[in-house]
A and B are shown apart, each in its own frame.
Chain A
Amino acid sequence: MNDRTDWVRTRAWLTGCSLLGGVGAACSLINAYPQVVPAPPADAAPPTPGAIAVGGRVPTGDAGDQFILTALDPSTGLEFPGARTPMTVSAVVYDAYGASGRDLWYVFESGAGAIFPLPGEPFFVDTMQLDRTTTPPANGGSQWHQVGQLQIPAGVSYATTAAALNYVAYVAYGDPDGDGGTGGCADGGVELPAANYALIVLDTSDPTNLQCAVVLPLDTQPVALVGTPPADPTVTFGGSLSLGYKASTSPPSDGGGSAGNAEGGGGPSDGTAPDGAGGADAGAPAAEDDGGTDGPAGSDDGSTGGADATVGGDAGGSDAGGAVACAPPTSGSIAHLTTYGLSHDPISNQTSIGMQSDVSIYYPGGATDLGFAAVQLDQTWGVLVATGAAQTGPGGGMLTFYPLQESSSATTSWCFPFADPVIKAPAIDPCSLPAPTAFVTGTNGTSAVPNQLYAVMLSPDGGIVAPSTPLGHSGQTLSFEPFKSTLLAPYSQEDDNFELTAFAFDVATLVDDGGEPLTREQTGTPDWNPPKVRPNFVATRSSVSLCSP
């Protein structure tokens, strides 16, 4: 694997990347334009070495599995001695937008004995540091230190956790009966709203003393939460939180709006999801979505139209290196991306939240899934939305960029050959040049084509799609480790059927000759030898200075 450490150290401060260890991975991109790069603080800490946090289970035979948090060396996959800590991890978020020298991981922890708590069950967020200084790397040691902890209302999913600047947010179960239930949050608890769900934002400016800053009621369940830092890099607090809602509604009768399909600024004012933006459990789509695309046609949900023209046809095939820019769909199923801005009043120390935009997202084929990730393109932060193949008609996947400013129109899309309707959230390499690269995979592929992994370079004027690489197992989540330029694909099934799979990413191969840029590391070799831990959740350290020129 390539080691980026040397060239990384030559680069200056810019901004950050958040690589969440989950489907709702919030990844920021470091842009490649030095003129917008702030000078590094004089006392800026040197780049920290890479680290991979893993929340998982250790098989212990008849005694049952033990839930743990641990950390791995990205160079080898080896577990740092001393890093294994008993903990029922529900999600891990790296504080990638934090201030210089701040190196925090937010670990969501279930107190219920299972990684997915039920409403009302004990739930915590721990601010953790991975100490590699008091235990020198010379002996390979590392240790987790708990900096702070706060009991909070039970969270729904790892896919709805995200960081902003001095904030971490997640979606919690609400109190739909309105009986005054609390789930903890700061001293004395915070009363949950009389709603099905709540977006809870925690102020992390003092990592030893997290505070509930915002509790926003949500009627329907978002399937993703993406955090981005403030657009203005001089702002020290805030950013945006985007909630992704998947829907199974029929397309508009007029077949959709104009290209770009923006509804900037529209939507509800009460903080809830737009009408028609059904939650994940608000009526599963009629079409099967567990991997089969080879059955007879006849999806009965009436939502397969529209996207074929943009996704199919010349969607790229396997002709790596070819431009794959394509127009955003203007019809199909409708999802929503609802973005809120966070602001902080330093006088009152109060946080406020307001809706910035609500965007309709058209995507093909009713039962296809969506994946969301934060990305920065051409100096603009936004959300990259991945859509899987249609159940019927030409297959194809699409990545569409939705900036979070002004009209919020979709600006650019990239198409790539893809057969699986159940796509996962993209992972992002923010440092690849000339543009960031997104990695996508599905859940199970199809009966004809095993699950594939794609690398798509997000060049504004086109893009490059790499030949696909077999993932080798079902897709769970993807995370990108920037120090070693490694794509991580955890997989955890029954018995011994689990693996933390790693792929070395060589951007030069992608850019220069259009070859296969992803090379699977052979697990169990000196190059990649992770511990025997079922990897449920993976997150990576991604210093804000990584990609600065």
Chain B
Amino acid sequence: MRPLELGSISLVLVCLTACTTKTDPPTFEGIAASTTDPDCLSATLSWQPATDTGPSQAHTPQDQIAYDVYLATAPGGEAFGEPAFASVTGQAAITLSGLPQQSVVYFVVRARDAAGNQDDNRVEQSVTTATKSFFGVQTIFDNFCAVVGCHVPGDPPRGLILSDGFARARIVDQPANTRLLDGGEIDLVMPYDADVSYLFVKIDPPLFEAGMSEFGRAEGTLMPAPQTGAMLQPQEIATIQDWIQSGAVSCPADAGGDQ
């Protein structure tokens, strides 16, 4: 029995050595799927759980394996140093938000055991983020419209508030309080149809010129007013147009300000 006992002790010693010096990473096939939220600048990545083999004292249980996410803006461009995101251990998916608008973003996900060993897969997936998030639109409003003395709470022109948190609820499917020649109404923003959205008519030079005759009444000036010295650039107009054409969605959800 003694040799056996000695052998057992040896095995234990081997095991303990392996436990403290484990260098092999988990077995992981990498990212399996990626999806984007149609309304938001976010992506959800998912994968099959990694496995970690070896003596029971050394391996990391599946529910303790962590996953590191690396981003790049070009294929194979991930820098595998500090990960951009790390998932909670044991999860098989992660949702990333705040991604750049109208971009292709590439991802690689790697598994990491409790000892810090990370697999080296380069399985890559990509998503194309939307242009229609309200983030970009609000930024334009903040810079050009929702300035003190103009479209801010208090007594704004046309009663229209475009400040952060207020704007979307004040414009989407809201009447413009102006009338077409035929007496019809027009909304400030009609989802999916920028050309008949009064707010867009007011900022798009060709539509504004046409609108002057179509609406048959004074429509003031193109916005921002020329006297402000400010002018929307074509890409800024396009951002608002894309947002309307995509349904004038909100992302994140409206914070309120509907009073």
**Interface residues of A, Cβ cutoff 8 Å to B:** 23-24, 112, 114-116, 118-120, 156-160, 173, 176, 196, 223-224, 246, 280-298, 300, 369, 391, 422, 424, 443-445, 447, 450-451, 473-477, 490-495, 497, 536-537
List 24 contacting pairs A-B, 8 Å CB cutoff, sorted by A.
Answer: A119-B259, A156-B153, A157-B154, A158-B148, A158-B154, A176-B259, A246-B155, A281-B161, A283-B159, A286-B179, A289-B157, A290-B221, A290-B225, A292-B219, A300-B217, A422-B157, A443-B157, A473-B228, A474-B150, A474-B228, A476-B147, A493-B224, A494-B230, A536-B148
- Which of A158, A159, A422, A494 counts the most chain B CB atoms within 10 A? A494
B227 touches A294 (CB 8 A): no
B221 touches A159 (CB 8 A): no
A295 touches B160 (CB 8 A): no
Q: Give Cα A369 to B156, complex, Å.
A: 9
- Which of A298, A477, A493, A495 counts the most chain B CB atoms within 10 A? A493
Q: How far is the CB of B172 from chain A (nearest CB, A)?
A: 16
B227 touches A450 (CB 8 A): yes
B225 touches A474 (CB 8 A): yes
Q: Give Cα A283 to B212, complex, Å.
A: 22
B154 touches A118 (CB 8 A): no
Q: How far is the CB of B68 from chain A (nearest CB, A)?
A: 26
CB-CB under 8 A from B228, the residues of chain A are 444, 473-474, 493, 497
A295 touches B154 (CB 8 A): no
Chain A residue at minimal CB-CB distance from B157: A290
Chain B residue at minimal CB-CB distance from A498: B147
Stretch at the interface among B50-58, B124-132, B162-170, B237-245: B162-170
Chain B window 225-259, contacts with chain A (Cβ cutoff 8 Å), 1 for yes, 0 for no:
11111100000000000000000000000011101
Q: Give Cα A336 to B231, complex, Å.
A: 36
Q: How far is the CB of A439 from chain B (nearest CB, A)?
A: 15
Q: Which of B179-199 contact A (CB under 8 A)?
A: 179
- Which of B159, B179, B219, B229 counts the most chain A CB atoms within 10 A? B159
Per a CB cutoff under 8 Å, which of A116, A282, A447, A451 touches B153? Answer: A116
Chain B residue at minimal CB-CB distance from A112: B165
Per a CB cutoff under 8 Å, which of B150, B166, B177, B219 touches A284? Answer: B177
- Which of A114, A284, A290, A450 counts the most chain B CB atoms within 10 A? A290
Q: Give Cα A160 to B153, complex, Å.
A: 10
- Is B135 an interface residue, CB under 8 A from the partner? no
Q: How far is the CB of B161 from chain A (nearest CB, A)?
A: 8
CB-CB under 8 A from A284, the residues of chain B are 158-160, 177
CB-CB under 8 A from A477, the residues of chain B are 148-149
Cross-chain pair count, CB within 8 angstroms:
154
Known A451-B227, A474-B150, A493-B229: A292·B157 in contact at CB below 8 Å: no
A444 touches B221 (CB 8 A): yes
CB-CB under 8 A from B73, the residues of chain A are none
Known A295-B219, A444-B227: A223·B155 in contact at CB below 8 Å: yes
CB-CB under 8 A from B1, the residues of chain A are none
Please give me the 9 A-B residue pairs with the lowest Cβ-Cβ distance, nearest first.
A295-B218, A157-B154, A476-B149, A292-B220, A288-B220, A223-B155, A494-B143, A284-B159, A159-B154
New A-B pairs, 9, CB < 8 Å, besides A246-B155, A291-B227, A443-B149: A280-B155, A284-B177, A288-B158, A288-B218, A290-B223, A391-B218, A443-B157, A444-B227, A494-B143
B212 touches A295 (CB 8 A): yes
CB-CB under 8 A from B47, the residues of chain A are none
A224 touches B155 (CB 8 A): yes
Q: Give Cα A423 to B158, complex, Å.
A: 13
CB-CB under 8 A from A293, the residues of chain B are 218
CB-CB under 8 A from B217, the residues of chain A are 288, 295-296, 298, 300
- Is B178 an interface residue, CB under 8 A from the partner? yes
Q: Give Cα A116 to B156, complex, Å.
A: 13
Q: Which of B202-225 contact A (CB under 8 A)?
A: 212, 216-221, 223-225
CB-CB under 8 A from A444, the residues of chain B are 221, 225-228
Q: How far is the CB of A299 from chain B (nearest CB, A)?
A: 8
CB-CB under 8 A from A115, the residues of chain B are 148
Q: Give Cα A116 to B259, complex, Å.
A: 13
